[in-house]
């Protein structure tokens, strides 16, 4: 049966490749460097360090008046600190996405195996039904011959 071959080939292919996760997307040296920097900067510790660095310029902003304080808040503090917080949020979301992809992969694997078992059971059922039909036809023929 051709569909059986296709299904078994697909199951073997999926077993070899596994689910596609975000960590599989690292391409080349530039990609690796970007991931290292993202992992370093995308932490709450880095956000705390950036906040401390930004606070160093706060006294000068306070002396500069309301416009300087506003500029410091939006241009220095929020941008620098939120950068790390947003990157951390993206890492958390990516990890959640990987978990979801892995679960979807496992579910698809289970469904493929169930489908293969259903196909096998239907084939057995069809063979048994055909055998019963042949036996009933022989029985009728024997009764008709009497």
Quick one: pLDDT at residue 49? 94
- Cβ-in-10-Å burial (0-12, 13-18, 19+) of 125 comes to exposed
Model-wide pTM > 0.95: no
List of residues 6+ apart from 51 with CB closer than 8 A: 77, 80, 81
Contacts of 41 (CB under 8 A, 6+ apart): 83, 84, 87
Q: Using CA atoms of 109, 115, 119, 121 in order, give the dihedral in degrees to the nearest 10.
A: 100
Q: What is the pLDDT of residues 26-36, one digit of tens each?
A: 678 888 888 88
Q: Measure Cα distances from 44 to 25, 47, 53, 81, 138 in Å.
A: 24, 5, 14, 9, 80
Structure-token match 């070899």, residue found: 16
- Of the pLDDT bands very low, low, confident and very high (cuts 50, 70, 90), residue 19 is confident
The alpha-carbon radius of gyration of the chain (Å, integer) is: 32
Q: Which pLDDT tens digit goes with each residue over 60-99?
A: 999 999 999 999 999 888 988 898 899 899 888 988 998 9
């Amino acid at each position: 049966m051709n569909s059986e071959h296709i299904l078994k080939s697909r199951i073997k292919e999926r077993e070899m490749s596994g689910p596609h996760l975000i960590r599989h997307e690292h391409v080349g040296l530039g990609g690796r460097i970007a991931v290292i920097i993202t992992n370093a900067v995308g932490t709450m510790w880095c956000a705390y360090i950036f906040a401390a660095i930004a606070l160093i310029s706060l006294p000068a902003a306070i002396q500069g008046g309301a416009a300087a304080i506003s500029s410091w808040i939006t241009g220095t503090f929020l941008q620098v600190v939120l950068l790390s917080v947003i990157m951390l949020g993206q890492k958390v979301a990516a990890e959640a996405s990987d978990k979801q992809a892995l679960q979807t992969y496992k579910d698809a694997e289970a469904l493929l195996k169930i489908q293969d078992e259903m196909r096998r059971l239907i084939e057995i059922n069809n063979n048994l039904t055909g055998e019963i039909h042949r036996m009933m036809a022989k029985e009728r023929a024997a009764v008709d011959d009497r």
